[in-house]
């Protein structure tokens, strides 16, 4: 019976977080309300409050759930890819596909909540900042391992290249969300691929052109 209650609690938690991730990617984390969520999902308010306790707890749990979903979409598919420039390019493709497919209705979840909390101190700001830092380090690490494997010129400025790649990704997301312009993904893909090919020790390991991006 205890295990049954725990499992029901876990199911409710997953149901709530699936909804909060979708809401926050469009309306922001401040748009979340424990009472409103309980009503929308037909759940007991006391049960939802017991799971999360406070709005801040709900916001933090939503960010962490979004990290898991992002990881499933962008990071885990690379597990069997060998280190090198092809892996670095595949990472960029996966990110552009993740944003383009609207895994989160509002585009990239982290772009949305970063703009919301970038100047606000507190636990949610710190959690969002940590996710951004973890992603930057992951991109840099992917590029650095490719460099050490001989895929890039030995003198490559890895942090600079990572900065440029992330900037192009986020610009594509912003243009697509704000203007409904899916062609921004194609422009970002061309820019990223061009930058990778220019830095690669063996550009022929990369495609000459990116695939077609854009859902419209």
Residue 184 predicted with pLDDT over 90 = yes
pLDDT-derived band at 5, boundaries 50, 70, 90: low
**Count of other CB atoms within 10 angstroms of residue 64:** 12
Instruction: Specify the pLDDT at position 55.
Output: 92
Tell me: the pLDDT tens digits for 114-150?
A: 999 999 999 999 999 999 999 999 999 999 999 999 9
3-class DSSP state of 145: helix
Across 162-166, average pLDDT: 98
- Rounded to an integer, what distance in angstroms lies between the CA atom of residue 65 and that of residue 90? 24
Instruction: Specify the pLDDT at position 216.
Output: 42
pLDDT-derived band at 191, boundaries 50, 70, 90: very high
Assigned token pair, 123: 């636990």
Is 21:102 a contact under the CB 8 Å cutoff? Answer: no
Q: Which fold has domain 2-204?
A: Tetracycline Repressor; domain 2 (1.10.357)
Torsion of CA 32, 95, 212, 201, to 10 degrees: 160
Sign of CA dihedral 4, 7, 9, 12: negative
Instruction: Specify the pLDDT at position 212.
Output: 82
pLDDT-derived band at 2, boundaries 50, 70, 90: low
Across 159-188, average pLDDT: 96
Average confidence score pLDDT of the chain: 93
3-class DSSP state of 152: strand
- Rounded to an integer, what distance in angstroms lies between the CA atom of residue 30 and that of residue 204? 47
Segments making up each domain of the chain, as ranges: 2-204
**Count of other CB atoms within 10 angstroms of residue 180:** 9
């Amino acid at each position: 019976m205890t295990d049954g209650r725990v499992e029901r609690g876990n199911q409710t938690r997953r149901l709530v977080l699936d909804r909060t991730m979708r809401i926050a990617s469009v309306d922001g984390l401040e748009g979340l309300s424990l009472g409103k969520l309980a009503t929308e999902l037909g759940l007991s308010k006391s049960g939802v409050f017991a799971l999360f306790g406070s709005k801040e707890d709900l916001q933090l749990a939503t960010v962490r759930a979004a990290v898991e979903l992002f990881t499933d979409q962008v990071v885990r598919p690379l597990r069997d890819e060998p280190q090198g420039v092809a892996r670095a390019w595949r990472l960029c493709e996966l990110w552009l596909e993740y944003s383009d497919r609207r895994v989160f209705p509002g585009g990239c979840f982290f772009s949305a909540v970063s703009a919301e909390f970038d100047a606000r101190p507190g636990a949610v700001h710190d959690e969002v900042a940590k996710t951004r830092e973890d992603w930057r380090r992951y991109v840099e690490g992917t590029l650095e391992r490719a460099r050490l494997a001989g895929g890039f010129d030995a003198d490559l400025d890895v942090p600079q290249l990572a900065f440029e790649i992330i900037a192009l990704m986020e610009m594509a997301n912003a243009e697509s969300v704000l203007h409904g312009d899916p062609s921004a993904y194609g422009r970002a893909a061309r820019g990223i691929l061009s930058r990778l090919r220019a830095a690669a020790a063996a550009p022929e390991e990369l495609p000459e052109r990116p695939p077609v991006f854009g859902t419209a």
